[in-house]
């Protein structure tokens, strides 16, 4: 099933959810994030919520990856949310060709159908490193009904030359993957260091980047 993305109300809804959840943040995280921007507070709150929702399936709960596909691919929209020190670091990430058939840089469709080449929304658990077509990559396991085919579809995190800053400078947008979370090779070590090994990745149209 292919889901069309409706961007209306995304930002309002996300910020309202963040505001409602700020009071529930752990005291240590709240104290360290109190000087953060409203955007970062919203990202941290979504990360905390999704880590709690995933529960015991996660091996590590210190850092979560939040992909906000409501915004253009030229914008840093993949966020490493550190729930221990209340910081957020942001990088660019690609979406799938099937999600953006016009190749205008905006994700318009989600799907978990094999062969769709679409990005899938929902929560993932990051697994081990492996050597693949694009070099060292991170396997992903889908945790929601919207992304349960991540493993048979070979939806992973990997570096790619079509995800570089030079590509964005030349074309005004990133290239497209087959549904994988592709990053600039110069940034991908951030994923290897901070996100692999049983941590959470959550992807949706959030409108907070």
Say if CB 140 and CB 155 are below 8 A apart: yes
Say if CB 140 and CB 156 are below 8 A apart: yes
Report pTM. 0.84
* Phi and psi, residue 51, nearest 5°: -65, -45
The predicted pLDDT at position 2 comes to: 60
**Counting beta carbons within 10 angstroms of the beta carbon of residue 109, is it exposed (0 to 12), middle (13 to 18) or buried (19 or more)?**
middle
The predicted pLDDT at position 4 comes to: 61
The predicted pLDDT at position 36 comes to: 83
* Phi and psi, residue 38, nearest 5°: -55, -35
Q: What domains appear along the chain, each with residue ranges and CATH number?
A: 2-204 (2.40.440.10)
In terms of DSSP H, where are the helices of 80-126? none
CA distances (Å), origin 21, targets 15, 24, 41, 76, 105: 10, 5, 10, 24, 31
The predicted pLDDT at position 1 comes to: 56
* CA 72 – CA 155 distance, rounded (Å): 21
Low-confidence ranges of the chain (pLDDT < 50): 7-33
């Amino acid at each position: 099933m292919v889901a069309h993305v409706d961007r209306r109300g995304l930002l309002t809804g996300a910020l309202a959810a963040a505001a409602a959840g700020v009071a529930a943040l752990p005291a240590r995280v709240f104290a360290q994030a109190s000087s953060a921007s409203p955007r970062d507070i919203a990202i941290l709150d979504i990360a905390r919520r999704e880590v709690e929702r995933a529960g015991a399936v996660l091996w590590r709960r210190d850092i979560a990856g939040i992909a906000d596909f409501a915004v253009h691919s030229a914008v840093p929209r993949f966020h490493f949310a550190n729930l221990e020190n209340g910081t957020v670091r942001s990088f660019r990430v690609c979406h799938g060709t099937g999600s953006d058939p016009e190749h205008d840089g905006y994700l318009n469709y989600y799907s978990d159908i094999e062969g769709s080449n679409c990005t899938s929304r929902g929560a993932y658990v990051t697994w081990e490193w492996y050597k693949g077509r694009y070099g060292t990559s991170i396997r992903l396991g889908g945790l929601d009904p919207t992304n349960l085919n991540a493993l048979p579809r070979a939806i992973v995190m990997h570096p790619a030359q079509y995800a570089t800053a030079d590509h964005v400078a030349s074309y005004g947008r990133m290239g497209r993957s087959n549904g994988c979370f592709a990053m600039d090779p110069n940034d991908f070590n951030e994923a290897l260091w901070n996100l692999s090994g049983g941590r959470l990745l959550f992807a949706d149209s959030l409108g907070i980047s």
